[in-house]
């Protein structure tokens, strides 16, 4: 997956991720450098705008279930 593709996907989900308390997302690793191969995963660092509780983390995990459909093998 190319860097621009990942950034476009994240941008498309920006509003919902913000509602879930995500302050910022940082892409790093081979995808960020546009050196990814077919078996590369997508590395993201997530910063929250407030302390997250257990149920909020469950909501984020549920929402990120879209990764199974967007990223081959669900490797995010």
Residues with catalytic roles: 41, 43
Q: Are 36 and 2 in contact (CB under 8 A)?
A: yes
Q: What token pair was written down for 70?
A: 């967007």
Strand partners, 44: 27
For residue 75, which phi and psi values (nearest 5 degrees)? Answer: -90, 100
DSSP H or E stretch at residue 37? none
């Amino acid at each position: 997956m190319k860097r621009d593709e990942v950034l476009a996907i994240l941008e498309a989900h920006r509003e919902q991720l913000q509602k879930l308390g995500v302050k910022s997302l940082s892409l790093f690793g081979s995808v960020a450098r546009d050196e990814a191969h077919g078996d590369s995963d997508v590395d993201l660092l997530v910063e929250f705008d407030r302390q997250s509780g257990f149920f909020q983390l469950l909501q984020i995990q549920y929402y990120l279930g879209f990764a199974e459909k967007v990223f081959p093998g669900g490797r995010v």
